[in-house]
A and B are shown apart, each in its own frame.
Chain A
Amino acid sequence: MNEKTLAGYCIRCNDQGYLTDLEQWNKEVASEIAQEEGISMTDKHWEVIDYLQDQCRKEVAITIRKVGKSGVVNIKEFYQLFPKGPLKTASKIAGIPKPVSCI
Protein backbone atom coordinates (compact mmCIF):
# COMPACT_ATOMS: atom_id res chain seq x y z
CA MET A 1 0.00 0.00 0.00
CA ASN A 2 1.35 3.39 -0.99
CA GLU A 3 0.28 6.87 -0.10
CA LYS A 4 0.36 9.75 -2.47
CA THR A 5 -0.44 13.41 -2.15
CA LEU A 6 -2.77 14.50 -4.92
CA ALA A 7 -4.31 17.97 -5.07
CA GLY A 8 -3.43 18.36 -1.38
CA TYR A 9 -5.17 15.15 -0.32
CA CYS A 10 -3.34 12.15 1.09
CA ILE A 11 -4.58 9.27 -1.06
CA ARG A 12 -4.03 5.53 -0.64
CA CYS A 13 -3.11 3.77 -3.85
CA ASN A 14 -1.37 0.63 -5.10
CA ASP A 15 2.14 0.59 -6.56
CA GLN A 16 0.74 1.31 -10.03
CA GLY A 17 -1.06 4.42 -8.85
CA TYR A 18 -4.63 3.03 -8.79
CA LEU A 19 -6.67 4.28 -5.85
CA THR A 20 -7.47 1.55 -3.34
CA ASP A 21 -10.41 3.37 -1.79
CA LEU A 22 -12.98 4.96 -4.06
CA GLU A 23 -14.28 6.93 -1.06
CA GLN A 24 -11.13 9.05 -1.21
CA TRP A 25 -11.83 10.02 -4.80
CA ASN A 26 -12.91 13.52 -5.80
CA LYS A 27 -12.75 15.57 -8.95
CA GLU A 28 -9.61 17.47 -7.93
CA VAL A 29 -7.75 14.22 -7.28
CA ALA A 30 -9.04 12.85 -10.61
CA SER A 31 -7.90 15.95 -12.49
CA GLU A 32 -4.43 15.61 -11.06
CA ILE A 33 -4.20 11.92 -12.03
CA ALA A 34 -5.47 12.88 -15.50
CA GLN A 35 -2.77 15.52 -15.76
CA GLU A 36 -0.12 12.92 -14.89
CA GLU A 37 -1.55 10.78 -17.69
CA GLY A 38 -1.40 13.71 -20.10
CA ILE A 39 -5.16 14.17 -20.34
CA SER A 40 -7.09 17.40 -19.86
CA MET A 41 -10.58 16.54 -18.73
CA THR A 42 -13.66 17.60 -20.69
CA ASP A 43 -17.36 17.01 -19.96
CA LYS A 44 -17.19 13.87 -22.10
CA HIS A 45 -14.27 12.53 -20.05
CA TRP A 46 -16.26 13.07 -16.84
CA GLU A 47 -19.26 11.27 -18.31
CA VAL A 48 -17.08 8.22 -18.96
CA ILE A 49 -15.61 8.41 -15.45
CA ASP A 50 -19.13 8.59 -13.97
CA TYR A 51 -20.16 5.54 -15.97
CA LEU A 52 -17.10 3.50 -14.92
CA GLN A 53 -17.58 4.35 -11.25
CA ASP A 54 -21.24 3.43 -11.51
CA GLN A 55 -20.35 0.04 -13.05
CA CYS A 56 -17.71 -0.52 -10.39
CA ARG A 57 -20.20 0.18 -7.58
CA LYS A 58 -22.59 -2.32 -9.21
CA GLU A 59 -19.67 -4.77 -9.27
CA VAL A 60 -19.97 -5.26 -13.03
CA ALA A 61 -16.73 -6.38 -14.72
CA ILE A 62 -15.84 -3.63 -17.16
CA THR A 63 -14.74 -4.37 -20.72
CA ILE A 64 -14.08 -2.15 -23.72
CA ARG A 65 -17.02 -3.82 -25.42
CA LYS A 66 -19.38 -2.85 -22.58
CA VAL A 67 -18.13 0.73 -22.58
CA GLY A 68 -18.72 0.81 -26.35
CA LYS A 69 -22.32 -0.30 -25.85
CA SER A 70 -22.96 1.93 -22.84
CA GLY A 71 -24.43 4.77 -24.86
CA VAL A 72 -21.90 7.11 -23.19
CA VAL A 73 -19.18 6.76 -25.83
CA ASN A 74 -18.48 4.41 -28.69
CA ILE A 75 -15.17 2.56 -28.84
CA LYS A 76 -13.60 5.00 -31.27
CA GLU A 77 -14.47 7.99 -29.07
CA PHE A 78 -13.23 6.11 -25.99
CA TYR A 79 -9.81 5.72 -27.63
CA GLN A 80 -9.83 9.38 -28.68
CA LEU A 81 -10.56 10.53 -25.12
CA PHE A 82 -7.95 8.25 -23.50
CA PRO A 83 -5.46 7.40 -26.25
CA LYS A 84 -2.87 5.46 -24.25
CA GLY A 85 -4.88 2.46 -23.13
CA PRO A 86 -8.41 3.79 -22.58
CA LEU A 87 -9.73 1.30 -20.03
CA LYS A 88 -6.61 1.43 -17.86
CA THR A 89 -6.21 5.19 -17.98
CA ALA A 90 -9.90 5.93 -17.43
CA SER A 91 -10.06 3.47 -14.52
CA LYS A 92 -7.07 5.12 -12.89
CA ILE A 93 -8.67 8.56 -13.19
CA ALA A 94 -11.99 7.14 -11.96
CA GLY A 95 -10.29 5.83 -8.83
CA ILE A 96 -11.42 2.26 -9.46
CA PRO A 97 -9.22 -0.87 -9.62
CA LYS A 98 -7.20 -1.68 -12.72
CA PRO A 99 -9.44 -3.69 -15.05
CA VAL A 100 -8.53 -7.37 -15.33
CA SER A 101 -10.31 -7.99 -18.63
CA CYS A 102 -8.47 -8.87 -21.86
CA ILE A 103 -11.36 -7.55 -23.95
Chain B
Amino acid sequence: MSNAENKPVKKMMLILSKATLENVYACFILANGARMEGIESEIFFTFFGLEAIQKEKLKHLHVATVGNPAMHMPTMLGGLPGMEALATKMMKSEMEKLDIPPVDEFLEMLTASGSKLWGCKLAMDMFKVKESDLIDDIDGVLTVGDFYERAQGDGTHLLFI
Protein backbone atom coordinates (compact mmCIF):
# COMPACT_ATOMS: atom_id res chain seq x y z
CA MET B 1 0.00 0.00 0.00
CA SER B 2 1.38 3.41 -0.82
CA ASN B 3 1.63 6.10 1.82
CA ALA B 4 -1.09 8.11 0.14
CA GLU B 5 -3.59 5.37 0.93
CA ASN B 6 -2.54 5.07 4.57
CA LYS B 7 -4.81 6.93 6.91
CA PRO B 8 -2.92 7.35 10.17
CA VAL B 9 -4.83 7.51 13.46
CA LYS B 10 -4.67 11.11 14.61
CA LYS B 11 -7.00 11.16 17.58
CA MET B 12 -8.48 8.52 19.91
CA MET B 13 -11.75 9.39 21.63
CA LEU B 14 -12.27 6.79 24.35
CA ILE B 15 -15.51 6.33 26.25
CA LEU B 16 -15.12 4.58 29.59
CA SER B 17 -18.44 3.28 30.90
CA LYS B 18 -17.22 0.73 33.45
CA ALA B 19 -15.28 0.92 36.69
CA THR B 20 -13.87 -2.58 36.90
CA LEU B 21 -10.11 -2.34 37.10
CA GLU B 22 -9.48 -4.32 33.91
CA ASN B 23 -11.63 -1.91 31.89
CA VAL B 24 -10.20 1.20 33.51
CA TYR B 25 -6.67 0.04 32.76
CA ALA B 26 -7.52 -0.95 29.20
CA CYS B 27 -8.82 2.57 28.65
CA PHE B 28 -5.89 4.32 30.34
CA ILE B 29 -3.29 2.24 28.53
CA LEU B 30 -4.92 2.96 25.18
CA ALA B 31 -5.12 6.69 25.94
CA ASN B 32 -1.55 6.87 27.20
CA GLY B 33 -0.30 4.64 24.39
CA ALA B 34 -1.83 7.01 21.88
CA ARG B 35 0.00 9.98 23.37
CA MET B 36 3.24 8.00 23.32
CA GLU B 37 2.80 7.63 19.56
CA GLY B 38 2.09 11.31 19.08
CA ILE B 39 -1.65 10.63 18.69
CA GLU B 40 -4.11 12.88 20.53
CA SER B 41 -6.36 11.21 23.08
CA GLU B 42 -9.39 12.10 25.15
CA ILE B 43 -11.46 10.07 27.63
CA PHE B 44 -15.18 10.57 28.28
CA PHE B 45 -16.06 9.08 31.67
CA THR B 46 -19.68 8.00 31.73
CA PHE B 47 -21.91 5.77 33.86
CA PHE B 48 -19.77 3.61 36.14
CA GLY B 49 -16.65 4.88 34.44
CA LEU B 50 -17.17 8.04 36.49
CA GLU B 51 -15.85 6.16 39.52
CA ALA B 52 -12.39 6.27 38.00
CA ILE B 53 -12.25 10.07 38.33
CA GLN B 54 -13.96 10.46 41.71
CA LYS B 55 -11.45 11.38 44.39
CA GLU B 56 -13.05 9.18 47.02
CA LYS B 57 -13.55 6.14 44.82
CA LEU B 58 -10.73 5.81 42.34
CA LYS B 59 -8.37 4.12 44.77
CA HIS B 60 -10.89 1.40 45.59
CA LEU B 61 -11.66 -0.05 42.16
CA HIS B 62 -11.75 -3.83 41.82
CA VAL B 63 -11.32 -6.57 39.29
CA ALA B 64 -14.61 -8.34 38.53
CA THR B 65 -14.48 -11.91 39.81
CA VAL B 66 -18.15 -12.71 39.14
CA GLY B 67 -19.48 -13.07 35.62
CA ASN B 68 -15.97 -13.08 34.25
CA PRO B 69 -15.21 -16.45 32.65
CA ALA B 70 -11.55 -15.53 32.15
CA MET B 71 -11.04 -15.61 35.93
CA HIS B 72 -11.34 -19.40 35.67
CA MET B 73 -13.08 -19.77 38.98
CA PRO B 74 -16.63 -20.90 39.73
CA THR B 75 -19.04 -17.95 39.92
CA MET B 76 -20.08 -18.99 43.45
CA LEU B 77 -16.47 -18.78 44.58
CA GLY B 78 -15.96 -15.40 42.94
CA GLY B 79 -18.84 -14.07 45.00
CA LEU B 80 -17.32 -14.96 48.36
CA PRO B 81 -16.36 -12.03 50.58
CA GLY B 82 -12.82 -10.84 50.00
CA MET B 83 -12.47 -12.59 46.66
CA GLU B 84 -12.53 -9.40 44.61
CA ALA B 85 -10.05 -7.77 46.96
CA LEU B 86 -7.71 -10.74 46.65
CA ALA B 87 -7.90 -10.87 42.85
CA THR B 88 -7.38 -7.10 42.73
CA LYS B 89 -4.35 -7.28 44.99
CA MET B 90 -2.80 -9.97 42.83
CA MET B 91 -3.46 -8.06 39.64
CA LYS B 92 -2.06 -4.83 41.06
CA SER B 93 1.15 -6.51 42.13
CA GLU B 94 1.62 -8.02 38.67
CA MET B 95 1.00 -4.62 37.08
CA GLU B 96 3.49 -2.86 39.32
CA LYS B 97 6.13 -5.31 38.05
CA LEU B 98 5.41 -4.09 34.52
CA ASP B 99 5.69 -0.47 35.67
CA ILE B 100 1.95 0.11 35.25
CA PRO B 101 1.04 2.84 37.75
CA PRO B 102 -1.90 2.81 40.18
CA VAL B 103 -5.07 4.59 39.05
CA ASP B 104 -4.34 7.95 40.71
CA GLU B 105 -0.81 8.15 39.33
CA PHE B 106 -2.01 6.97 35.93
CA LEU B 107 -4.49 9.87 35.80
CA GLU B 108 -1.66 12.30 36.60
CA MET B 109 0.42 10.72 33.83
CA LEU B 110 -2.42 11.10 31.36
CA THR B 111 -2.89 14.77 32.22
CA ALA B 112 0.84 15.42 32.01
CA SER B 113 0.97 13.76 28.60
CA GLY B 114 -1.78 16.01 27.27
CA SER B 115 -4.71 13.56 27.31
CA LYS B 116 -8.02 15.31 27.94
CA LEU B 117 -10.33 13.93 30.64
CA TRP B 118 -14.05 14.70 30.55
CA GLY B 119 -16.94 13.85 32.85
CA CYS B 120 -20.32 12.96 31.33
CA LYS B 121 -22.95 15.46 32.38
CA LEU B 122 -25.93 13.12 32.19
CA ALA B 123 -24.25 10.36 34.20
CA MET B 124 -23.15 12.90 36.80
CA ASP B 125 -26.73 14.16 37.14
CA MET B 126 -28.00 10.61 37.40
CA PHE B 127 -25.50 9.48 40.04
CA LYS B 128 -25.65 12.86 41.84
CA VAL B 129 -21.94 13.39 41.32
CA LYS B 130 -20.76 16.98 41.75
CA GLU B 131 -17.82 18.49 39.89
CA SER B 132 -16.14 18.92 43.27
CA ASP B 133 -16.24 15.11 43.71
CA LEU B 134 -14.01 14.74 40.66
CA ILE B 135 -10.23 14.95 40.59
CA ASP B 136 -8.81 18.44 40.07
CA ASP B 137 -7.11 17.45 36.82
CA ILE B 138 -10.41 16.95 35.00
CA ASP B 139 -10.75 19.14 31.90
CA GLY B 140 -14.48 19.67 32.27
CA VAL B 141 -17.96 18.20 32.06
CA LEU B 142 -19.49 17.55 28.64
CA THR B 143 -22.71 16.41 27.03
CA VAL B 144 -22.58 13.65 24.43
CA GLY B 145 -23.01 16.32 21.77
CA ASP B 146 -20.00 18.25 23.07
CA PHE B 147 -17.94 15.08 22.98
CA TYR B 148 -18.89 14.30 19.38
CA GLU B 149 -18.05 17.84 18.42
CA ARG B 150 -14.55 17.31 19.79
CA ALA B 151 -14.25 14.15 17.67
CA GLN B 152 -14.29 16.13 14.42
CA GLY B 153 -11.51 15.80 11.91
CA ASP B 154 -9.81 13.23 9.74
CA GLY B 155 -8.23 10.27 11.49
CA THR B 156 -10.38 10.41 14.66
CA HIS B 157 -11.51 7.11 16.12
CA LEU B 158 -14.08 6.50 18.85
CA LEU B 159 -13.86 3.53 21.16
CA PHE B 160 -16.41 2.41 23.74
CA ILE B 161 -15.11 0.51 26.74
Contact = CB atoms under 8 A, between A and B. Distances in A.
A66 B36 contact: no
A33 interface: no
A87 B38 CA distance: 10
Given A76-B112, A103-B98, A64 B32 contact: yes
Interface in B1-51: 29, 32-33, 35-38
Nearest to A61: B99
Interface string B130-143: 00000000000000
Interface centre among A75, A86, A88 (most CB of B within 10 A): A75
A84 B109 contact: no
A76 B109 CA distance: 8
A-B complex: 3 closest residue pairs judged by Cβ atoms? A84-B38, A75-B112, A85-B38
B29 A103 contact: yes
B114 A79 contact: yes
Nearest to A101: B99
B100 interface: yes
Given A101-B99, A103-B32, A64 B113 contact: yes
B101 interface: yes
How many interface residues does chain B have, given as a range? 10 to 19
A85 B98 CA distance: 20
Nearest to B32: A103
A88 B36 contact: yes
Interface string B78-114: 0000000000000000000011110001000100111
Interface of A: 61, 63-66, 68, 74-76, 79, 83-88, 101-103
A55 to B, nearest CB: 12
Contact of B99 (A63, A74, A79): A63
Contacts of A74: 112
Contacts of A76: 112-113
B34 to A, nearest CB: 10
Nearest to B33: A102
A54 B114 CA distance: 27
Given A68-B112, A75-B113, A85 B37 contact: yes
Interface in B111-125: 112-114
